[in-house]
Amino acid sequence: MKIDIILLDSSLELVPKEIVNHPSVVKNAMKRGKRPEQTILDISLHYSAMKNLPNFRKRGRPDILHQTLLLILEEKIMDEIYIHTIDSKIIRVDPSMRPPKNYDRFIGLMEKLLIEGRVPKENNPLMEILNVKLEDIVKGKNPILLSEDGKRTSPEALCKDNNLIGIGAFQSGDFSSEVKSYFYERYSISSRVLEAQQVVCRLLSGCNYLLGWP
């Protein structure tokens, strides 16, 4: 059994030009020896700069993506893994990748990815930004969105070949209209609101149970 997973509306982006000269952005960039526009937006560092950005509470949480990827890539039951970012980039992740457990190293890796388009730049990349849209990824698959307002089901019921399971990787707010237009089948695996990491844990546990793993 192999399933595909995509982390949707992920809070991963470089600092936008609107706030690139804000003191908090400049200070953090100087501390790291980087140009402000080449650093990742992080609400814990850039909150004062972000307050006037559109939809700011949904942005600047790369830590959610980090923690979620660590869980997903620990297992070997995923066939295809994608990241869909809040600005509609599509990133392919090699299932054999082992992301850095150290958060600062992870941020450095993702900054390199967003700037160069792939990491490593040579040979076979472990992550790369694809020149495709979300609609291209869902073609030929059964897209399923995990959402608190979806039809209640068990994680085990979702562990089927050809399912493309979408999980939101952002802090608050709703899925984008782009996501909603392709993920019209919604399911919930809990009676309460779960964080992305909790959703992944339940899903992986359900799939592993079906495989007979201890």
Q: What is the CATH number of the domain that holds 65?
A: 3.40.1280.10
130 with 182, same domain: the answer is yes
76 with 124, same domain: the answer is yes
75 with 45, same domain: the answer is no
107 with 180, same domain: the answer is yes
70 with 144, same domain: the answer is yes
The type of residue at 88 is S
114 with 50, same domain: the answer is no
Please work out, in degrees rounded to the nearest 5, the angle formed at the alpha carbon of residue 207 by the alpha carbons of 202 and 210: 130
44 with 65, same domain: the answer is no
Question: For the chain, what is the radius of gyration of the CA atoms?
Answer: 17
Domain boundaries, position 35: 17-58
107 with 187, same domain: the answer is yes
136 with 169, same domain: the answer is yes
120 with 43, same domain: the answer is no
- Strand, coil or helix: 83: strand
71 with 176, same domain: the answer is yes
pLDDT in tens, the chain (214 residues): 678 999 999 999 999 999 999 999 999 999 999 999 999 999 999 999 999 999 999 999 999 999 999 999 988 888 899 999 999 999 999 999 999 999 999 999 999 999 999 999 888 999 999 999 999 999 999 999 999 999 999 999 998 888 999 999 999 999 999 999 999 999 999 999 999 999 999 999 998 888 776 5
State the pTM of this model.
0.95
For the chain, how many structural domains are there in total? 2
Q: Do 71 and 201 form a contact (C-beta atoms < 8 A)? A: yes
